[in-house]
Amino acid sequence: MILCNNSVFISVIPCYSNLGLIKMDPKKMLSKEIAAKVKGHISGQTVSELVENFLRYGNTFLLLELVNLRNEVESLREELNQRKNKRSLRPLLVQ
């Protein structure tokens, strides 16, 4: 299983030891791995909620996250264009 969220790629691999296969909760494993990679950017509680929703809803969750990211990118583009327009108008106002 591979999760791609906010440019973080994680693969879930079963843990092996000398005693054989250790059964671990995939939700805990995935949450722990993602939390380590996004440390300081996203809280552990948020990571746990996202992992829980991903495991519960699968492709639907990924689709909704993709739509949210597209909306966020679009709003950032608009903000960037507004800043560029303000900068280009400033020299005209000074004259």
- CA–CA distance, 48 with 32 (Å, rounded to integer): 9
Q: Which residue has the higher pLDDT, 11 or 50?
A: 50
| 4-26 pLDDT per residue, tens | 454 444 444 445 444 555 677 88
What pLDDT does residue 90 have?
A: 65
Contacts of 38 (CB under 8 A, 6+ apart): 6, 8, 47
